[in-house]
Amino acid sequence: MAPDPRMIELFSYYRDAELHGAGLLLRLTKLLGDDPDAQVKLSLHVAEETHHAWLWTKRITDLGGKPMAVGDGYQSRIGLRTVPRKLVDLLALTVVVEERSFDRYKEHAARPDVDPETKKILEEVTKDEKWHIAWIKGKLDELAAEQGMQDRADEMMEKYRQIDSEVYGELRAKEAAVFGELH
């Protein structure tokens, strides 16, 4: 049976978001070169995001599909609206992006019509996203305090949350158009 192209598309968006997330972390890895604590955590964090991308890729191929090129995914849409300039900006954006993926995966896992294989992946990735949020938020607070940039960090969190909610609204509308309903 041919896979449902809508599910292949949805998982391709998840995969794209994970790969972009890994890209953001690689930028942080460069910027935090003299912070060994951050280096240890970033190494595991990047490994987990790329593993998440693999889990979605495998889900797609297990269904008999192929990963689709995604040109207008979550991070691409965010990138059209803002470019983080400072380290605290990048950390704030990472917190917001991680929170979004945590909420989204949790919401998807709670739907009544999720197949067991997909549910297993959703639960596994959600577990990882939880500590991702916690440590990046901790690092943001630490650096903001050290650099006297608490106001900037707060301002950026607010700005990125606003952008995130606009972008997520667009993606939900697109999803509703594809699936015929918000489920």
Contacts of Fe ion in 142-171 (CB under 5 A): none
Contact 172, 183 (CB under 8 A): no
Angle of helix 150-179 versus helix 116-146 axis, rounded to 10:
160
Provide the sign of the torsion angle of the four alpha carbons 111, 114, 120, 125, taken in this order: negative
Residue 89 binds to Fe ion (criterion: CB under 5 A) = no
Quote the least distance from Cβ 108 to Fe ion, whole Å: 13
Residue 129 binds to Fe ion (criterion: CB under 5 A) = yes
**Cα separation, 44 vs 73, whole angstroms:** 24
Quote the least distance from Cβ 16 to Fe ion, whole Å: 11
Nearer to Fe ion, 8 or 25 (CB): 25
> Hunting for tokens 């935090």 — which residue is that?
32
Rounded to the nearest angstrom, the gap between the alpha carbon of residue 141 and the centroid of all alpha carbons in its chain is 20
Nearer to Fe ion, 21 or 65 (CB): 21
Nearer to Fe ion, 48 or 89 (CB): 48
Quote the least distance from Cβ 96 to Fe ion, whole Å: 12
Three state DSSP letters for 60-111:
HHHCCCCCCCCCCCHHHHHHHHCCCCCHHHHHHHHHHHHHHHHHHHHHHHCC
Residue 132 binds to Fe ion (criterion: CB under 5 A) = yes
Quote the least distance from Cβ 180 to Fe ion, whole Å: 28
Q: Which stretch binds Fe ion (CB under 5 A): 52-60, 76-84, 140-148, 163-171?
A: 52-60
Residue 52 binds to Fe ion (criterion: CB under 5 A) = yes
List of residues contacting Fe ion (CB under 5 A): 18, 49, 52, 98, 129, 132
